[in-house]
Amino acid sequence: MLAVTGGRILTITGRIIEKGTVMVEHGKICEIGADVHMPKDAEVIDVAGKVVMPGMIDAHSHLGIVEEIYREEGDDCNESTDPVTPHLRAIDAINPADLGFRDALAGGVTTVVTGPGSANVIGGEMVAMKTAGTVIDEMIVRFPVGLKAALGENPKRSYSRDRKMPTTRMASAAILREALVRGQEYIRKTTFGSSEGDVHLPKRDLKMEALARVLKREIPLRVHAHRADDIMTAVRIAREFQVDLVIEHCTEGHVVAQQLAELGIPAVIGPVITNRAKVEMQGITLETARVLSAAGVRIAIMTDHPVVPVQYLAASAALTVKGGLSEDAALRAVTIDAAEILGLANSLGSLEPGKDADFVVMDRHPLDILCQVEQVFIKGVKVYPIVPSRLFI
């Protein structure tokens, strides 16, 4: 049993506990409060004067797929040979030895979502995983956590040079629709047979199985869309096929905030620390998070690592506060609201009994640019500063 005691605890979903204690047993939080009984045999860590908060969640990155240093040898982000690749699985490309995982821990990030890039209209299945470990299968929190799709400039740029579809936004939307229609037909055939009374089912199709998970609403379609018109195209298609949708990047989300709010569509915003890297990002503003939140849209904040290094997730959240978002909402966007969007709020995102003991000890408030991460725990195991004998959980 572990007791981390004496710190200022930001539970996120409850009150702030001054000089509180987090009790951990079997990798879960078993008790938390200002007056907690500590068994004599408990390992006690004194964090008096420090801030304790849940491990942060980066809801969109390419950590482990685009490796630090090995930019060509370790770049497995985009299979830009076919615009429709729903059967690709992020877990098959992630290298847990990527130095970015150490950076994540140093930044207080304990869970990340990693997925394929945006070269294809449909890129593949994304994964939510812990940031400590040596084998990806043991780091997985949820797989798949969504199917990556993309609209806008990237698919056009990837294929127009070879004079292949898509070369227009119309073609990207059409390709996405066609794939979903084929997925519907596959579901029909595998459920009812290829014709009335036919007991012979079609051959197994991994592409269609991935699309079926979206169409059955087992996972959301997570669509890369910066510009407002691309966002609304994603919304239009999601409504046509009655699938769950998450907007990734959502750079011009402030333009269509009311529409997203009315439909209950969440957004993963970012990268925040960036320039107008391409035409569709001309509308970037620090106020997007504030406008979306004020309209009632649930938001998470991402780094899009390595576009912005994963350790700057807290700094990204701080900049949304500069744009008018409240501090409370900014912290929720990298903890509990991110967990809600990922369907992981039952185990992550806040400090509550029964949840994973993923938490961070800092020397000051996490949105202070001078904040230093001093200790990180995942499932109650101290993983930062890195102790080789205890890193692998």
Q: Is 112 exposed, middle or buried (0-12, 13-18, 19+ CB in 10 A)?
A: buried
Does position 390 have pLDDT exceeding 60, yes or no? no
Is-contact 45 4, C-beta < 8 A?
yes
| 3-state class (DSSP) for residue 68 | coil
Does position 44 have pLDDT exceeding 70, yes or no? yes
pLDDT digits (tens, 9 = 90+) for 86-105: 999 999 999 999 999 999 99
HSE of 325, CA atoms in CB hemisphere, 13 A: 34
Mean pLDDT confidence for 17-23: 97
| 3-state class (DSSP) for residue 231 | helix
Q: How confident is the model at residue 74 (pLDDT cuts 50, 70, 90)?
A: confident
Does position 193 have pLDDT exceeding 80, yes or no? no
Mean pLDDT confidence for 36-41: 90
Ramachandran angles phi, psi of 47, nearest 5°: -120, 35
Residue the block writes with tokens 């699309």: 211
Q: How confident is the model at residue 387 (pLDDT cuts 50, 70, 90)?
A: low
Q: How confident is the model at residue 201 (pLDDT cuts 50, 70, 90)?
A: confident
Q: How confident is the model at residue 389 (pLDDT cuts 50, 70, 90)?
A: low
| 3-state class (DSSP) for residue 330 | helix
Lowest mean pLDDT among 206-215, 274-283, 326-335: 274-283
Q: Whole-angstrom Cα distance, residue 266 to residue 295?
A: 11
Residue 68 has a pLDDT of 86
All domains in the chain, ordered by first residue: 55-348 (3.20.20.140)
Q: How confident is the model at residue 386 (pLDDT cuts 50, 70, 90)?
A: confident
Q: Whole-angstrom Cα distance, residue 313 to residue 278?
A: 22
pLDDT digits (tens, 9 = 90+) for 296-348: 999 999 999 999 999 999 999 999 999 999 999 999 999 999 999 999 999 99
Residue 338 has a pLDDT of 98
Residue 12, amino acid: I
Residue 84 has a pLDDT of 98
Does position 196 have pLDDT exceeding 80, yes or no? no
Residue whose C-alpha is closest to residue 77's, from 99, 55, 54, 94? 94
Residue 37 has a pLDDT of 87
Residue 63 has a pLDDT of 97
Lowest mean pLDDT among 8-12, 103-107, 154-158: 154-158
Residue 162 has a pLDDT of 84
Mean pLDDT confidence for 246-257: 98
Average pLDDT score over the chain: 95
Is-contact 230 151, C-beta < 8 A?
yes
